[in-house]
Amino acid sequence: MTERTLVLIKPDGVQRGLTGEILRRIEAKAYVIAQLTKSDAAPDQLAAHYAEHEGKPFYQPLVDFMLSGPIVAAVVEGNDVIKGFRSLAGQTDPTTAAPGTIRGDLGRDWGEKVQKNLVHGSDSVESAEREISIWFG
Ligand code: DAT
Ligand code: MG
């Protein structure tokens, strides 16, 4: 079924000059980039986006990291793209994410409290619609 997902290229990805490489992988998979913006995240957007993680030990380091530089937000479309992009991204922890994935090929542990893992992808249809409205109104 055709779906939409919300992809964020996090500040580490933008700062390291990996925006093109990450978008290339999405397009190489033949998903469609329907909307694309670069901006500084606002604190209220991050509070809404990461509401499910509020209270966890990594929450504040995660929010601070997401405010540390510009991000790229994209709406990506395709059949089963929610699962498909998470497969392209790889597991949350870049140390163990499989080679061949964005996080596995391009990410690593930097010895910090937060996992700098380059990208976010929505995890369900409901999350995707909620997150798209946060970043694209
Ligand atoms: P994902 O981004 O794979 O959907 P998540 O939704 O569980 O993972 O967590 C959101 C982000 O929070 C994740 O991309 C990196 C950070 N994070 C999650 N678990 C963490 C942990 N145990 N230690 C540090 N950062 C963590
Ligand atoms: Mg998640």
Assign residue 20 the CATH number of its domain.
Answer: 3.30.70.141
HSE at residue 33, side-chain half, CA atoms within 13 A, is: 16
Evaluate: CB of 96 within 6 angstroms of ligand 1.
no
State the pTM of this model: 0.98
Evaluate: CB of 101 within 6 angstroms of ligand 1.
no
Nearest residue to 86 via CA among 127, 38, 44:
127
Q: Quick one: pLDDT at residue 83?
A: 98
Q: Quick one: pLDDT at residue 46?
A: 98
What order do you get walking across the sheet with 71-79 strand by strand? 32-39, 71-79, 2-9, 119-121
Evaluate: CB of 5 within 6 angstroms of ligand 1.
no
Domain of 27, in residue numbers: 2-136
Q: How many domains does the chain have?
A: 1
- Token pair of 111, please? 């010895």
Ligand nearest to the CA of 8: 1
**3-60 pLDDT tens trace:** 999 999 999 999 999 999 999 999 999 999 999 999 999 999 999 999 999 999 999 9
**67-100 pLDDT tens trace:** 999 999 999 999 999 999 999 999 999 999 999 9
Q: Quick one: pLDDT at residue 49?
A: 98
Q: Quick one: pLDDT at residue 1?
A: 84
Nearest residue to 114 via CA among 68, 52, 49, 48:
68
Rounded to the nearest whole angstrom, what is the distance from the C-alpha of residue 50 to the centroid of ligand 2? Answer: 8
C-alpha–C-alpha distance, residues 126 and 28, integer Å = 26
b or e along 100-134 (b: 16 or more beta carbons within 10 Å of the residue's beta carbon)? ebbbbebbeeeeeebbbbbbbbbeeeebbeebbeb
Of 120, 122, 131, 135, the catalytic one is: 120
